[in-house]
């Protein structure tokens, strides 16, 4: 497996308020400024794997990383398959970051639960 150089300084940014063309333009600007990696969260607007694939398709060397993809949003097999698909399509410029998110987002917004319930 080829090691990727994410650089010493990257950028984490929520792009959900931007239109798709604006988010592409933003990623291209970050790339031109010399950043190696743009970290995007799984927030309220876009599916992170599709969004990452879109940004990667319109940049040349920028690494796109999820910071984070929510473990409660998809099962492990689906998460791995999505990450592998985006990484392969981008020539290895995708980095999967996963996490638990925050209880208000998981429980309240998504309507799921972060803890097992007694049956």
Quick: pLDDT tens for 9-56: 899 999 999 999 999 999 999 999 999 999 999 977 899 999 999 999
Rounded Cα distance, 11 and 31, in Å: 10
Helix, strand, or coil (residue 53): helix
Per-residue pLDDT, 72: 87
Residues paired with 37 in a beta bridge: 63
Q: Considering the chain, what is the average pLDDT of its residues?
A: 89
Query: pLDDT digits over 99-109, tens only?
Result: 987 666 666 66
What are the sequence ranges of the domains in the chain? 29-99
Cβ atoms of 42 and 66 closer than 8 Å: yes
Cβ atoms of 98 and 83 closer than 8 Å: no
Characterize 72-93 residue by residue with b for buried, 16 or more Cβ atoms within 10 angstroms of its Cβ, and e for exposed: ebbeeeebeebbeebbeebeeb
């Amino acid at each position: 497996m080829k090691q990727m150089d994410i650089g010493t300084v990257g950028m984490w940014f929520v792009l959900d308020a931007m239109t798709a063309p604006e988010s592409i333009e933003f990623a291209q600007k970050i790339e031109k400024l010399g950043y190696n990696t743009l970290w995007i969260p799984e927030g309220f607007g876009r599916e992170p794997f599709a969004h990452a694939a879109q940004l990667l398709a319109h940049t040349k060397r920028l690494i796109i990383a999820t910071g984070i993809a929510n473990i409660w949003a998809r099962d492990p097999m689906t998460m791995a398959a999505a990450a592998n698909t985006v990484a392969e399509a981008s020539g290895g410029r995708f980095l999967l970051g996963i996490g638990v998110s925050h209880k208000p987002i998981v429980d309240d917004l998504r309507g799921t639960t972060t803890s097992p319930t007694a049956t």
